[in-house]
Amino acid sequence: MDDDSLRRLPKVELHVHLEGSFDVDRIVELADEAGEELPANPQSILRPKSLSELLARLDWWCGLIRTPEQAVRQAYDFAARLGADGVAYAEVIVNPTHWRGLRREALLEAVSAGFDQAARDGHCDAWLLVSLLRSQSADEALEVVEALAARPPSRLVGLSIDGNEAATGPTGHRFAPAFALAGALGLGRTAHAGESSGPEGIVSALDDLGVSRIDHGVRCVEDRDLMGRLATEGVALNVCLTSNVELLYGSIDGHPLATLVDGGIAVTINTDDPVTLDVTLTSELALAQSVCRWGLQGAIAATETAIRASFASASKASDLHKRLSEFAGWTLPDRT
């Protein structure tokens, strides 16, 4: 399996944050426009030492976006970057709490507009996952979903939740009403769990929030019964290898991807914060190949899993299956 084949593969990304789409040049440009000093030297600004430091940095550089035009450009440029790597479809997480320079409604409309323009120009077809922050209250979370119901952004496909569970403690019960409303509205539901939390965070996401997939989820390997449940129920884990190595394992040799795959769990490969981590979906799939000894067939299978786990419309999923079949040179079953 060579990088060119992986790059041409019409890939699907389900766990990627717009907050992680800022490169150093863009941060410096925005800081200059806002008249703000950098919190660190440019060489180290994208290399936080912990999850809490990363979240603080995200708050700062996302807060440099002060106009809808800046947000449109950020969304457009990110979709173009994904498209250049051969990503055909992406569900991009946007947590409005990080973007303090714009009202939530203006931000989400601008991001949708940027994604629309990028899709028209032939770049990645990017859609929007609005994310709650674990430190928000139940009332704040419910207000977010009610606002989405009243005026949904054009590219909205689902609701997410992220943040440091190790710092906030269990949050599933607090956000259950917001996620229940999202489900009633027909939105897809996903949650970060099993990274800063252990297996108990995954169980809460399934039972309290009603999610159909988990972002990260890698710490399910600490509970064999939970692994069996995930495999039996077909819950997909949106795994981010480099991100997990940076924040959890220290080395790819310690990553449990092969254990997850061998356990029959549906796994997709993703980048998390690609610019911050200096990775692409192509490079992450190549890394997965080195762990699981996949050939190109393995990358195709992981992409098919991602299509099935996506919140794409039936027609969009069918189109993605067709593109994947054409790339593979045979007819894959349409399991949408």
Catalytic residues, by residue number, are 195
> What gap in Å lies between CA 267 and CA 147, rounded to an integer?
32
* Tokens standing for residue 92: 């991009």
Do residues 90 and 16 make contact, with C-beta atoms less than 8 angstroms apart?
yes
Of 237, 172, 234, 175, nearest to 14 by C-alpha is 237
CA 99 to centroid of chain Cα atoms: 17
Distance, in Å, from the CA atom of 330 to the CA atom of 152, rounded to the nearest integer, reads 38
Calpha distance 50→19 (Å, rounded): 16
> Tell me, what DSSP letter sits at residue 19?
G
Sheet containing strand 87-94, strands side by side: 11-17, 87-94, 125-133, 156-162, 188-193, 213-216, 236-239, 267-269
Cα 41 to the center of its chain, rounded Å: 27
CA–CA dist 232, 92 (Å, integer): 27
Provide the angle, in degrees to the nearest 10, between the axes of the packed helices 296-309 and 314-328. 170
Question: Please, how many CA atoms are within 13 Å of residue 242, restricted to the half-sphere of its CB?
Answer: 21
**φ and ψ at residue 36, rounded to 5 degrees:** -115, 150
